[in-house]
Copies of this chain bind each other. A is one copy, B any other.
Amino acid sequence: MAELLHISEHRDTKRSDAITALARHSLFSNMPEEIFAEFSAAAQLMESEKGQMLFLQDDPSEWFYFVVSGWIKLFRETVDGGEAVLDVLTSGHIFGEAAILDGGIHTLGAAVVEKTTLLRLPATILKNAITKNHTVALGMLASVSRQRRQQTQDIEKLSLQNTSQRIGCFLLRMCKTSDVTSAEFKLPYDKSLIAARLGMQCETFSRALNKLRKETSITVKGSSVGIPDVSELASFSCSNCSQEFPCHDLH
């Protein structure tokens, strides 16, 4: 029993840490305490393994989720097997909440990309909170607006940039601050998933990354990327962007 107790204590710690993180999310941070308490009481900590489907497009929405750690992809699947990856999310982001505004039906599917810890929250609480409380409605409005801006950018990029440029912009978004001149980092998830997120095949990704390596001074070794001259990469990638570097990450 001691062992179980210990595990349970550990789990409780994890859960309360997760709720602390949840409280920092912009949708929750301005929320009246008594409403946040509802979410906090109902939140369920979940550990999910790679490949698990959390919901599918057209499912009725019962829950929405907060990512504590790990990676989640949002996607749409077509009748004949195609898949479009609309977004890939990690710690600090919520997903599935938009269904509340879409007639209670998910417009995207969500799947676990690698071992992920989530908080699962009842959609009804959020739905009621939006209806009842002005502050929550404004928070939701800000959240949906951010998504709209992000999608606007994605459409622009799909329409106007070639594959190398899209990869270049993706790499630039990995550079945390906007005023760095050089950067080194690891790719956040599999190349094949990055390819899907950018709307290309993985073979095309591989070749386009090679082209980017030839035409700029970036280095790539496995998942390690070096960008010795950020502005050089920006001028290669963003000539077909409407925005100056940096293409802010709009999450």
Contacts and interface: CB of A to CB of B under 8 A. Distances in A.
B137 A141 contact: yes
A2 to B, nearest CB: 50
B147 A76 contact: no
Contact of A145 (B108, B144, B159): B144
A101 B137 contact: no
Nearest to A240: B78
B242 A77 contact: yes
Can you tell how many copies of this chain the complex includes? 2
Contact of A102 (B76, B98, B149, B158): B149
- For chain A, which range describes its interface: under 10, 10 to 19, 20 to 34, or 35 or more residues? 35 or more
Nearest to A144: B144
Contacts of A82: 159-160, 240
Contact of A152 (B145, B149, B151, B159): B151
Interface in A206-251: 238-242
B137 A242 contact: no
A138 interface: yes
A138 B131 contact: yes
Nearest to A198: B159
A84 B140 CA distance: 28
Contacts of A151: 148, 151-152, 155
Interface of A: 57, 76-80, 82, 84, 86, 98, 101-102, 107-108, 130-131, 134, 137-138, 140-142, 144-145, 147-149, 151-152, 154-156, 158-160, 199, 238-242
7 contacts: A78-B160, A80-B239, A86-B155, A134-B137, A144-B148, A155-B155, A155-B158
